[in-house]
Amino acid sequence: MTQIPFEFAHSASLAPDDFVVSESNAAAFAWVERWPDWPGPVLCLYGPAGAGKSHLGELWRRRSGAMRLTPEQLADFEAIPGLAETARAFLLDDADRATDRATERGLLHLHNAVADRGGHLLLLARQPPARWPIALADLRSRLAAAPVAALGSPDDLLLKAVMAKLFADRQLAVAPEVLDYIAARIERSFAAAAVAVAALDRESLALGRGVTLQRARAMLEATGQAAGDLSGG
């Protein structure tokens, strides 16, 4: 009998031990570990959605005691000096969205306030600052001087580790051969891994069964990604 799957809330674990270091993110991880020995007040980590930027940012926030900000909060740029007196470190996620006049001014004021107080600012974005459409020349020049580190597309080890973590976040135990099978057939991206895990989670809830090799094959065949025969099941 097919059951109706309910979308139970599940949250990703951002614990330090859950971050897997591989070739694609080693440089970014090293910068976070290097704090507070940064050459300047600002560091930018960039990469595609699901690359681990938020996880690294949370690791740094816990270590530094940073205040988390959004681009929308920067729009009230006149409040930035007062805000900067409440903390010495700040984490700005989606920093490449801070590209309208008000948020650019807010980011410039925040940069200056952090630098004046000997604090630090970690920027998380999908693109490096050199590719942001920044109108303020002063802000462009300051961000151009900041070090950047990329989080790239995952290798096989990292892709399977991320999927294992995503399944674990949903309280699902999956055999290594299932992870091997999925990783060999999906697009090499964290976004594709998240889609595959979510699809198998929904099917597992609907059927009242665990995630097996046969279920993984059926799901990938439905999306045109499976190929070849399975040995076992």
Quick: pLDDT tens for 79-125.
888 888 889 999 999 999 988 999 999 999 999 999 999 999 999 99
Q: Can you tell me the distance from the alpha carbon of 183 to that of 189, in angstroms, rounded to the nearest whole number?
A: 10
Is residue 57, in this structure, part of any structural domain at all?
Answer: yes
Q: Are residues 108 and 168 in the same domain?
A: no
- Determine if the pTM surpasses 0.85: no
Whether residue 50 is found in the same domain as residue 101? yes
Q: What is the pLDDT of residues 146-190, one digit of tens each?
A: 999 999 888 888 889 889 988 988 888 899 999 999 999 998 887
Residue 21 to residue 32: CA distance in whole angstroms = 12
Is residue 143 situated within a structural domain? yes
Residue span of the structural domain in which 200 resides:
155-222
**Quick one: 102 and 210 in the same domain?**
no
Q: 166-200 in b/e burial notation, b at 16+ Cβ within 10 A?
A: bbeebebebeeebbebbbebbeebbebbbebbebb
In total, how many domains does the chain have? Answer: 2
Q: Based on the domain organization, do 101 and 208 belong to the same domain?
A: no
Based on the fold, state whether residues 34 and 145 are members of the same structural domain: yes
Same domain as 212, residue 134:
no
pLDDT category at 12 given cuts 50, 70, 90 is very low
Report the DSSP beta bridge partners of residue 121. Answer: 42, 90
Query: Given this model, what pLDDT does residue 227 score?
Result: 42
- 175, 213 Cβ separation under 8 angstroms: yes
Strand residue runs (E) in the chain? 42-46, 67-69, 89-92, 120-125, 148-150
* Integer Cα distance of 185 and 225 in angstroms: 6
Final residue before a domain boundary, out of 150, 166, 191: 150
User: Could you tell me the CATH number of the domain that includes residue 114?
Assistant: 3.40.50.300
> Which of 150, 179, 195 represents a domain boundary (last residue)?
150
pLDDT over 90, % of the chain = 54
Q: How far is CA 10 from CA 6, 68, 169, 194, in A?
A: 12, 22, 7, 13
Q: What is the CATH number of the domain that holds 160?
A: 1.10.8
